[in-house]
Structure formats: C-alpha cells, structure tokens
Amino acid sequence: MQDPAGPDARESELHWDDEVDVLCVGSGPGVLAHAVFSAALGADVLLVDAPTDVTDPETLAYLGSMTDDLGPISPVAADLEASVLRAEPAPIRTDPRAPIEPFIGPRLREFALRCVASPFGVLYTEVPDAGRTAMRTERGDTVQVASIGAFRAGADAPAAALTAWLDEQAHARGVGRATDSVAQRLIFENGRVAGAELAGPSGSTLVRAAAGAALSIRSAPDVGGWPGQAELGEQTADVAIVALTAGRFGRVVLLNPR
C-alpha cells in the first residue's frame, strides 16, 4: 500500500493497545474527507471525536506551534461555506531550465488561516503526498489535489449536504469509528505525533497512528447552522482536498462545479 499520510512506520518503544495507519480526530468535513481519501488508498483508518476542550500541555503546545504564527483566528459565517475552486492539471515541468514557482509566504498564511478557521479545514501531523495531483488554479497557484468523488449540490445548504455525503462515504469505505470515545491527548515519540490516547467509558486506549494523524480544528455546526449557497444549487462538482506543496493544512473544496 502506498503511504496515504506520511513516512513508513517506525519501531515504537511505547506500549500501544491498538494500531491503525491513519487516525482522524474530529467531526468536521475536512477530517471526514481525509478519512475517506486514505481509506480509498487502502489505509486502515480510525475516526474519533475531538474533546470539547484540550487540556493536555503537550497537545496544546503542539497545536500552538502549528498555528501561533497565523495571528488571531475568529470563525465567521463565510468559513462555513463550501468553497469553490476552479483549476486545471498543472503542466509537467520537463525542462530543468524552466523557472520554478516562487515561494510566496503571504499566500501560505492566507491558505492556512482559511483552513484553521473552518470545519472544512484539516491539519496533518505528517505532510501528505500519496495520491495527490498537481493542479493550477485560476489565480496561478499550484495546489496538490486529492480527489474523492463527484457530488451534486442541493438547492438549500450544500455544505450540510456535502458533510452528510462525506459521512456516508466514510461508512461505505469501511472507516472505523471509536464510538463513545474522544482523543483526549496526542502522544509524541521522537519529536513526532505517534498516536493518541482515547478516553471512553471503559477507560483509556493508546492508539498508534503509523502513518500520521489528521486533526479537525473546528467542529461542524448543527445541520441548521450551515449557510445557504443558492449559487451552487443543483451543480455537480468533484469533491477534493486541496493543499499547498509540502504544507500541513488542507481544505475540502468543490472542484470545477458544472
């Protein structure tokens, strides 16, 4: 199996109660999409709810290190909308003398902010690369696209329908679910996220994530909390996760609606 989320599995010195390839923490459509995509690549995926409040110092420090340089993050109504992206396959660079796309810091920060402040966003503990396709947006940015499948938006609240569709896809792909449990804290080994401690009615379980974890920073609202987007009514689009090259953030988009 091609690794869906990170490096090859390493030997661990910790005692684990269970092991999966990919651990997905949260309930937002971003982390649901990563679970579906990873399962489609053949990974063993476990989905678990995030805690209401994170209190573990190491986990808080890790999340802070990923987001502190982004500045204040305040979710607004627009962050709940299903984003539309129009892009085409990026040309393959065959001439070594061809100019390399410049590194533009402000665009990275802008993209990371849009991911962190939305339930459509996802944070990866390992930089994902397997199964992605390079595409060029209308603005000229190159993005890495993980395609999930075709989705037809409804006339009322397409974001709500998209989230429900991703949940159905997770069931269809056999994504495991740790019901009645939450990921109480991340577990670190050799400076990396190695897994998580799941807390449930029967106690704690240590679950190793051999290929990394995906975290939803913002939870999904109730069904009635999603905004309407009449402009997307009855259009069909490719559901995809987009990320910047070598980036730790991704966001679910409706690609090339038609």
pLDDT computed for residue 99 by the predictor: 60
Per residue in 159-213, pLDDT (tens digit) is 999 999 999 999 999 999 999 999 999 999 999 999 999 999 999 999 999 999 9
Which comes out higher in pLDDT, residue 117 or 76?
117
Backbone angles phi, psi at 223, to 5 degrees: -55, -40
* β 83-85/121-124 pair status: unpaired
Neighbours of 252 (CB within 10 A): 30
Q: Which tokens go with 208?
A: 């190793």
Tell me the C-alpha distance between 174 and 36, whole Å. 9
* Confidence check: pLDDT of 1 > 50: no
Query: Which residue is listed with tokens 């987007």?
Result: 229
The half-sphere exposure of 186 on its side-chain side, counting CA atoms within 13 A, is 25
Per residue in 42-101, pLDDT (tens digit) is 999 999 999 999 999 999 999 999 988 887 666 555 589 999 999 999 987 656 665 656
AA letter at 146 = A
Domain ranges of the chain: 18-94+101-223+230-255
Tell me the C-alpha distance between 240 and 154, whole Å. 18
Q: Which tokens go with 230?
A: 């009449």
